[in-house]
Amino acid sequence: MRVHKIASIPADGIGPEVISAGLEVLEALSRRIGGFRLEVEHFPWNSDYYLEHGHYIPPGGLERLKQFDAIFFGAVGSQKVPDDVSLWGLRLPIAQGFDQYANVRPARVLPGVKSPLHQGSAIDWIIVRENSEGEYAGNGGRVHRGLPTEVGTETAVFTRVGVERIHRFAFELARTRPRKRLTLVTKSNAQRFGMVLWDEIFFEVAKQYPDVQTDRELVDAVTTRMVLKPHTLDVIVGTNLHADILSDLAAALSGSLGIGPTANINPERNFPSMFEPIHGSAFDITGKGIANPIATFWTAAMMLEHLGEQEAARALMKAIEQVTASGIHTPDLGGSATTADVTRAVCERING
């Protein structure tokens, strides 16, 4: 029996609702498929915990997390704590501390789901987001606070090592896809230093992947291409900020933010990787029982794949697609099903 140790951090808002749905589905899978078992430990780190203790992650917390095979994360963000405090208090220390530099974000229109795009069925993308530096490196400061002369700087950091490794990751991924296409996204007309470095390193790395067809696009232009010519894109590689924005667009174009999954990968496996839906805490629907759990289920499938449980990952994706195809949809997809209805339906498909 293969045992995988999972750290569950549901955190804030709808996080606990979707993570508990996700764990239910994972439990059903391991019972049904057999051969593996998940040993789940829950961590109560969220914004209420922060307000009570003064920190999201207690001293020694990352050392504890390091013992796990994967982290299953909900969402962090509360109306009681400024967003930069919550993000930098919980999610970023894990992603940066565990060198999860490759943020992988697939987008596809699942069966039965309606894309707002006429040609939505052509969407089959994976966005690879640099996840350790760039615009979210945390490099900047504020001076002359409160004065008319106040200044805030936010300096993006791009290193050769950081850029080269994300490009290499994206090429390796593109190589595994039927179309083997990779689009480089930057803004190297207006930003002359870091972005030009990105372009240069991309084409250096490209020489080692002659089987991958490449092209490049400025970040503003690629948004129009995503909407107007979705079939021309396959794998997209972009910086921390750019790819963050593009992946929300990708999720919305594939039907809802409630569908998009993401994996924060440490490819060398020196640390656990972290799996989370791309959406946030969704204050407007918290506690109503109507959060779409599909993003979390798809995320769970990515986690299983990372853990080497390919059969379970495939079975889960199949069950998800059967349920979306059957029209059991939460309100964000135009339906009236609850989180529990969708979860039950997926478990039933798993149990066959």
Residues that bind ligand NAI (CB under 6 A): 14, 18, 75-77, 83, 87, 91, 257-258, 276, 279-285, 291-292, 295, 330, 332
Q: Which is nearer to ligand NAI, 21 or 212 (CB)?
A: 21
CB of 289 to ligand NAI, least distance (A): 11
- Tally of residues, the chain: 352
Q: Determine how β-strand 2-11 pairs with β-strand 36-42.
A: parallel
CB of 248 to Mg ion, least distance (A): 6
Query: What letter does residue 266 receive in the DSSP assignment?
Result: -
Alpha-carbon distance 126 to 124, whole Å? 7
* Run of H or E including 183: strand 181-186
Q: Which is nearer to ligand NAI, 94 or 163 (CB)?
A: 94
Q: Which is nearer to ligand NAI, 65 or 195 (CB)?
A: 65
Q: Of these partners, ligand NAI, Mg ion, none, which one is at the site of residue 244 (CB under 5 to 8 Å by kind)?
A: Mg ion
- The CA-based angle 315-317-318, given to 5 degrees, is 65
Q: Of these partners, ligand NAI, Mg ion, none, which one is at the site of residue 302 (CB under 5 to 8 Å by kind)?
A: none
In the block, tokens 């229109």 appear at 109
244 touches Mg ion (CB under 5 A): yes
CB of 33 to ligand NAI, least distance (A): 26
The residue with its CB nearest to Mg ion is 244
Q: Which is nearer to ligand NAI, 83 or 150 (CB)?
A: 83
Structure tokens at 57: 């992650």
Q: Of these partners, Mg ion, ligand NAI, none, which one is at the site of residue 30 (CB under 5 to 8 Å by kind)?
A: none
| Neighbour tally for 342: CB within 10 Å | 27
CB of 31 to ligand NAI, least distance (A): 25
In the block, tokens 């079939």 appear at 231
SS3 (DSSP) at 328: coil
* Residue 70 near residue 6, CB atoms below 8 Å: yes
* Residue 32 near residue 61, CB atoms below 8 Å: no
17 touches Mg ion (CB under 5 A): no
Query: Counting Cβ atoms within 10 Å, is residue 8 exposed (0-12), middle (13-18) or buried (19+)?
Result: buried
Q: Which is nearer to ligand NAI, 106 or 194 (CB)?
A: 106
CB of 78 to ligand NAI, least distance (A): 6
Q: Of these partners, Mg ion, ligand NAI, none, which one is at the site of residue 91 (CB under 5 to 8 Å by kind)?
A: ligand NAI
**How many residues contact Mg ion, by CB under 5 A?**
1
CB of 282 to ligand NAI, least distance (A): 4
Alpha-carbon distance 167 to 296, whole Å? 27
